[in-house]
Amino acid sequence: MQRPDKVSIANGKLAVLLPGMGAVSTTLMAGVLLANRGLVKPIGSITQSGTIRLGKRTDNRVPRIKDFAPLARLEDIVFGGWDLFPDNAYEAAVHAKVLDAKDLDPIKEELSAIKPMKAVFYPEFVKRLHGTHVKTAPTKFEMVEQLRADIRNFIKDNGCSRAVCVWCGSTEIYLEPGPVHQSIAAFEKGLRDSDPSIANSMMYAWACLKEGVPFANGAPNLTVDFPAAIELARETQTPICGKDFKTGQTFMKTMLAPGLKARGLGVRGWFSTNILGNRDGEVLDEPGSFRSKEVSKLGALESIFQPELNPELYGDLYHKVRIEYYPPRGDAKEGWDNIDIFGWLGYPMQIKIDFLCRDSILAAPLVLDLALFGDLSKRAGFRGVQEWLSFYFKSPQTAEGLYPEHDVFIQSMKLKNTLRWMMGEELITHLGNEYYD
């Protein structure tokens, strides 16, 4: 990747397109609309409230990220999306029960005006949902063409200069890349043949890549994580990243595990369970969709602890993840972790975490950041997999053969150093010996 000579400024309106207008999407939209009216602060969003140190610690240059990098402004965002239910964003937000009426009422009119475009939906990929607001076409190729037309029309009709897309649709059944996913030619043929291993989310991603629209994947589906999509992203100069927003339990894991490892403490077992009752929980109650989530959640510990390098500390680690659909909880998920650790002379100890979180409250600012950083990446001339955005994902996409960095502190350093590098500032290594010369 080459350092950009100059990152072009964010001119004009930015279309933020969200396939899946459910709990996360509508919570994001509501937050941005309220922030634009000065009624709330965009808490949890690094692009809005995060700072970045530049130069030496003694330089006292610590601007906000949004004042350092030429990001799109919140006021310039125009939201759009697709869903298989025809509810507008206000109705969908009421249905999702994340936000109270006091937060939705002031922006009811603006939210109601955001109406989903018809979805591409082959139900075999999300077995629990049965929607009617769907496109029809003889082949998957034509489905992609319809999505491409949606994107172009949305940009034109809303006077936008460009677009970015974040997948906020339901988790699809577990799939592994097959022959159809190996090259652009194989995938395009597969679209024409309506190959059964081309999932809904892949068609959205393909349409975006064809249109040069940066694409981030918030669910654990493959979506843009296969060779043909990576090849197309490079060919059309489009940034991509994924997968699966890192919000609750995995966020906790990737904060705590690096600390245990840094201190050389052993871990014998890590049992994680969740209860949640939103539509996401209902979809994940189906074994195919749960498998996608399980695989995404399991990878983090293995890669942080590196049991092959530390067999005496992590070689026997038993890691188990469960998700239970429990409707009374709605979006207010509870995640429990029991961690069996051991220290000096092998004596055992335990850590318990009980995270009473709110799924969409944690996820919405991540979607905002991914949209803004995706758009920035494109203007910086970045293309293909954006590993510097691993910070946001449970299962970060990386170059082939490269293990992902899951440690949230390494991810955060990588993100900030990429911004420094992009903007021509010195990288920060934390060596700090110049203060003692």
Ligand X SMILES: NC(=O)c1ccc[n+]([C@@H]2O[C@H](COP(=O)([O-])OP(=O)(O)OC[C@H]3O[C@@H](n4cnc5c(N)ncnc54)[C@H](O)[C@@H]3O)[C@@H](O)[C@H]2O)c1
Q: Does 168 bind ligand X (CB under 6 A)?
A: yes
Whole-number Å distance between alpha carbons of 307 and 305:
6
Q: Is the four-CA dihedral 308, 310, 315, 317 of positive or negative sign?
A: negative
Q: Does 225 bind ligand X (CB under 6 A)?
A: no
Distances (CA, A) of 393 to 99, 105, 204, 373, 385: 24, 32, 19, 14, 13
Please state the separation of Cα 172 from the chain's center in Å: 15
Q: Is the four-CA dihedral 64, 67, 70, 74 of positive or negative sign?
A: positive
Q: Which of 215, 132, 104 is nearest to 166 (CA)?
A: 215
Candidates 46, 65, 93, 96; binder of ligand X (CB under 6 A) is 96
Number of residues that bind ligand X (CB under 6 A): 36
Q: In angstroms, give the least distance from the CB of 96 to ligand X.
A: 6
Segment contacting ligand X by CB under 6 A, of 31-39, 117-125, 152-160, 372-380: 117-125
Candidates 47, 272, 360, 411; binder of ligand X (CB under 6 A) is 360
Q: In angstroms, give the least distance from the CB of 13 to ligand X.
A: 23
Closest CB to ligand X among residues 121, 373: 121
Shortest-Cβ-distance residue relative to ligand X = 22
Closest CB to ligand X among residues 174, 382: 174
Q: Does 279 bind ligand X (CB under 6 A)?
A: yes
Q: Does 82 bind ligand X (CB under 6 A)?
A: yes
Whole-number Å distance between alpha carbons of 297 and 240:
20
Candidates 129, 180, 300, 332; binder of ligand X (CB under 6 A) is 129
Whole-number Å distance between alpha carbons of 219 and 92:
19
Segment contacting ligand X by CB under 6 A, of 15-23, 59-67, 173-181, 377-385: 15-23
Candidates 45, 47, 223, 247; binder of ligand X (CB under 6 A) is 247
Segment contacting ligand X by CB under 6 A, of 154-162, 232-240, 277-285, 407-415: 277-285
| 334-342 and 266-276 strand pairing | antiparallel
Taking residue 354's Cβ as centre, other Cβ atoms within 10 Å add up to: 8
CB-CB contact of 249 with 392 (8 Å):
no
Give me 187's structure tokens. Answer: 């995938």
Q: In angstroms, give the least distance from the CB of 187 to ligand X.
A: 18
Candidates 29, 362, 371, 372; binder of ligand X (CB under 6 A) is 362
Q: Does 119 bind ligand X (CB under 6 A)?
A: yes
CB-CB contact of 70 with 10 (8 Å):
yes
Candidates 20, 266, 384, 396; binder of ligand X (CB under 6 A) is 20
What is the 8-class DSSP label of residue 61? B
Closest CB to ligand X among residues 172, 375: 172
Candidates 200, 217, 238, 418; binder of ligand X (CB under 6 A) is 200
Q: Does 321 bind ligand X (CB under 6 A)?
A: no
Please state the separation of Cα 7 from the chain's center in Å: 23
Q: Does 84 bind ligand X (CB under 6 A)?
A: yes
Helices first, then strands: H and E counts in the chain: 16, 11
Segment contacting ligand X by CB under 6 A, of 223-231, 262-270, 356-364, 375-383: 356-364
Q: In angstroms, give the least distance from the CB of 290 to ligand X.
A: 10
Closest CB to ligand X among residues 232, 370: 370
Candidates 126, 151, 166, 180; binder of ligand X (CB under 6 A) is 126
Whole-number Å distance between alpha carbons of 193 and 265:
53
With residues binned 3-state (H G I as helix, E B as strand, rest as coil), the percentages for the chain, rounded to 5, are 45, 20, 35
φ/ψ bin of 393: left (φ > 0), alpha (ψ from -120 to 50), beta (otherwise):
beta
CB-CB contact of 256 with 328 (8 Å):
no
Binding residues vs ligand X (CB under 6 A):
19-24, 82-85, 96, 119-121, 126, 129, 131, 168-171, 200, 218-219, 244-245, 247-248, 278-280, 283, 359-360, 362-363
